[in-house]
Chains A and B, each alone.
Chain A
Amino acid sequence: MREFGYQRVFDVPGAVARLGADPDARYLGGGTNLVDLMKAGVERPALLIDVRELPLDGIETTDDGGLRIGATVTNSDLAAHPEVRRRYPALAQAVLAGASGQLRNMATVGGNLLQRTRCGYFADLAKPCNKRVPGSGCPAIEGEHHNHAILGASEHCVAIHPSDMGVALAAFDAVISYETADGPGELPLAEFYLPVGDTPHLETALPSGALITGVTLPPTPVAAVSRYRKVRERASYAFAIGSIAAALDVQDGVVREVRLALGAVASRPWRAQEAERVLTGGPASADAFAAAADAELAAAKTLPHNGYKVTLMRNLVVAMLTELTEEAAR
């Protein structure tokens, strides 16, 4: 790990000004991913700007009945918050499904959105990786990829985004707020993560030097009946091999509104828009759920060892929507 300077900041303009355009500087939140990557040699900042003392640790109801979550709110506080649990239960469940009690106490909302892939090649300096060293190659495609992307990947990178929280945020149309030296800005989550294409090292649409200040969830009544489910290779304290956040409003057997987002299938939390389109206005039946899953997964491109994810995600969509239909009927 390279030697680095450290500065704690107490206000947002000060933080943004301090980081400036320094490409060797990083904001330090909970550190659960950044410090780990610094130890691995993947990140080698010369300066850390510690943003944990910024006044961004609140969760407030917005005027229109949505929720605004500060960027330095810890995962623990997010998952424990009564309004999150009441109005967006899938978000609380998603956060609780991630990492461990210790890491959730440290990790922040802003950092969670920016966490890097857990692809084993990315974190190993001895191996090529287009995300880490553009143009060096993607050994996962020919090598170990059983937990790699089936949607939205490219021949340059098949890594997945590891966040659980992000999957629920994707389902609920979250909007990311940020601050730059030129002033504030916003990005819907759908536009926050860049397509992989031939630039897998460019991950988000955040302007250079921008600091995430918060996440806003619009009022989403359908989210009150929502769930998150995560499948992993250990019962806890493991990254997903497939996950799903879903919300469903069924009236008289007809799908009025549905939200579906899939995790561990792409370089970003994957909003299943095609499945939502197929479902909306149609019957809430197992056949319809399966058809919707198939419509979404028609675009899936599999590698020799991750084809199971298509089956897994199809099954999760059907099971989840069936459960939510039953819950709505109660």
Chain B
Amino acid sequence: MTTTTGTTAVTGAVGAAHTRLEGRDKVTGAARYAGEIPFAELAHGWLVLSTIARGRVRSVESAPVLAMPGVLTVLHHGNAPRVDGSYAGMLGRPDPIVEVFQHDRVPYVGWPVALVVAETSEQAREAAEALVVQYDEEPHDIAFFADRPGTYTPENSPAAQAETEKGDIEAELAASAVVVDAAYTTPEEHHSSLEPHAATARWDSGRLDVVDSNQGSMWVADELAKLFSLDPASVRVRSEHVGGAFGSKGVRPHQILAVMATTVLHRPVRVVLTRRQMFSLVGYRSPTAQRVRLGADTDGRLRAFDHQAQSLTSTVHEFIERSADMGRVMYDADAHHTVNRVVPLDVPTPTWMRAPGEAPGSFALESALDELAEKIGMDPIALRARNEPDAGPVSGLPFSSRNVLACFQEGARRFGWADRDPRPGTRREGRWLLGTGTAAATYSSGVVPSTAAVTAETDGTFTVRITAADVGTGARTALALIAADALEVEPGRIRIQIADSDFGPAMIAGGSMGTRSWGWAIMAAARELREQLVLGGDIPPQGITARSDTGAAVSALAKKERHSFGAQFAEVAVDVTSGEVRVRRMLGIFAAGRIVNPLTARSQFIGGMTWGLSMALHEEAIRDQASGGHVGADFAGYHFAANADVPLIEADWVDDPDADDPVGIKGIGEIGIVGAAAAIANAVWHATGVRHRDLPIRPDRVLLAGTRPAGERDA
């Protein structure tokens, strides 16, 4: 038959609400995640992690364990296949945790020291628990605090400036009528995806086949090929459904160990992390210690802007939580300084976690803005309006679009901000003191070259293939809608296949760049296909396929400040006699480019705001100085928001056209969390008159801080 596109002129899929393509599978339990695909002869691996924070493995006493029922092998540094971790992957040099079992050094509690593989998971678990590992222990140091010895400023690189500076900060602070100088801390936070990391590996007709849960199957396949020195074409990684990721699902020990074990045992091996193991194996958000200094004239104009952030990393790899980056986009001043410092300690390497940098950074910065507004006696929204920059405060580049004030305007209207009495501690309802707060949000809108293939099938449908990942974002559905519009056909005629490394290189689901990068590649391939189809003729049995690679187009994109923006609003109730804080409502208004699927986009924004609430009030991993390990590394010890914590949260958006952008999509995965914790902290101040500069705002902190009558200010 002859297939054409556009003859019925069906467009407008993008922008209309669509339920998820895989929705029925998810609500019926039919959707299979990584650990749920059956394989004949499957063996189960169970990890053994170090119990010391620093030292060496003296011995792994495998013999008794190998005699236990069902045990097939015990892998450790003395017998594991060799891997080579001296490569640069898609996101740079890997965390050396990928070089698992390659040496006897232990750099932190929770470092993998052995993998027990057995016929059943029960047997593997018992054998792993019975395995005796002897260590030579050395003293460790995990104490993180502001300005601690060993803190350094990393090298600047073109991609990531550690420090930016213009003007004379001290002079401008001295000349400022009003100065805020405040220190903030945020704790160690964990991604805690509900689906634990899981991978099943097997050799199939000379190819390594890995069923995984990840944010980028090509990324994982590429790094596995490099690690095991394999032909990239001989590695296939699939990850059809992913039960949450948030930055934690890249190349991690479970995939590598599954590959090692299947190579040794010649049968499929599955390695699933336990919840407790996830706390030390999949990365986390570093704690931060931040200092913000703002100097302003009495009309609110900023003369001095200084944001100094400190995070930690492991002793084996440098990862920087870039908390001070937000001010490089948001606020200008005569003197402007930002720096991200880091200190290596005997802890696991942190990694990207939802809105890396901006999530903790916005808590400090947007709290400090609120403190400045209070000191000046100015409305916090007016203060932000006063300091809107015309161009990037550090780069000097124009903004591709910047609609943060439109967000505040719409948000203020819907939230009822105009009726707010700015004085703190004036509203009470029974035992609850009430307050409202606001904060700005921003996150960068990046794009990475990607490839896609679109096939016109003989039955009139179109098949889209791209190594995208749907980690719960709704990407699968959004990409189908983008393809439908690009092909000018009904969405029902689109079949989409994702998350298979055989589909070629593509961006990972991360950095709010996935849908933007993939959508661009799909649009390009669809355009190419339409040009081919316009020529007419029959569709051969194998269909007609057009492929795209956005490499050239992406690098041709004009250099600009490209970001999403938003305004966060929160109302809280605080009982200072018990320390309880309840969020009563939240509203987020965002300017985030073209919204592809309003149904799932709203969910994603609200999900991010829920993370902000959770960060503000609950999340905190506790490390024990004596052992160097966590205390309560589970969901009873590490709290994130439960249903009862989350009130009605609304998210909406304003028009945010971006004339010179061929896609118009900005990405929305991160921005929902940015500023949300600050809005809540600012609301707690408004309720009680006390600033809470340390997260989470726990009951004991609220209880001990009490209230401060209106008029009294923080020193």
Contacts and interface: CB of A to CB of B under 8 A. Distances in A.
B618 A308 contact: no
A232 B617 CA distance: 11
Interface string B555-590: 000000000000000000000011110100000000
Nearest to B109: A126
Interface in B629-644: 629-633, 636-637, 639, 641-644
Given A121-B631, A126-B51, A142-B626, A238 B698 contact: no
B169 to A, nearest CB: 36
Interface in B681-714: 698-700, 703-704
A306 to B, nearest CB: 8
Contacts of B129: 1, 41
A312 B629 contact: no
B188 to A, nearest CB: 13
B626 A1 contact: no
Nearest to A305: B700
Contacts of B577: 315-316, 319
Interface in A301-321: 305, 308, 311-312, 315-316, 319
Interface in A273-324: 305, 308, 311-312, 315-316, 319
A126 B629 contact: yes
Contacts of A253: none
Nearest to B50: A126
Contacts of B625: 143
Contacts of A232: 699
B185 to A, nearest CB: 15
A127 B699 contact: no
Interface string A53-83: 0000000000000000000000000000000
Nearest to A137: B626
Nearest to A309: B700
B379 interface: no
Interface residues of A, number: 33
Contacts of A143: 624-626, 631
A3 interface: yes
Contacts of B626: 139, 142-143
Contacts of A142: 626
A3 B636 contact: no
Interface in A5-59: 41
B582 A139 contact: no
Interface in A234-252: 234-239, 241-242
Classify chain B: how many residues form its interface, as a range: 35 or more
Contact of A124 (B582, B631, B645): B631
Contact of A311 (B627, B632, B704): B704
B636 A144 contact: no
B431 interface: yes
A210 to B, nearest CB: 28
Interface string B42-65: 000000000100000000000000
B206 to A, nearest CB: 38
Contacts of B639: 233-234, 238
B644 A236 contact: yes
A146 B700 contact: yes
A127 B644 contact: no
Contacts of A242: 578
A234 B578 contact: no
A127 B698 contact: no
Given A1-B126, A233-B618, A312-B578, A139 B642 contact: no
A311 B618 contact: no
A305 to B, nearest CB: 8
Nearest to B580: A231
A2 interface: yes
Contacts of A121: 624, 631
A256 interface: no
A104 B642 CA distance: 17
B642 A235 contact: yes
A235 B578 contact: no
Interface in A180-226: none
Given A234-B618, A308-B579, A312-B703, A139 B624 contact: yes
B289 to A, nearest CB: 19
B631 A144 contact: yes
A242 B698 CA distance: 13
A37 to B, nearest CB: 12
B187 to A, nearest CB: 13
12 contacts: A1-B129, A120-B632, A126-B627, A127-B627, A127-B631, A231-B579, A234-B618, A235-B645, A238-B642, A305-B700, A316-B577, A319-B578
Complex A-B, nearest 7 residue pairs according to Cβ-Cβ distance, in ascending order: A120-B632, A236-B644, A120-B631, A235-B644, A308-B700, A126-B51, A315-B577
Given A120-B637, A144-B622, 10 more contacts: A232-B699, A233-B698, A234-B639, A235-B644, A237-B642, A242-B578, A311-B703, A312-B579, A315-B703, A319-B431
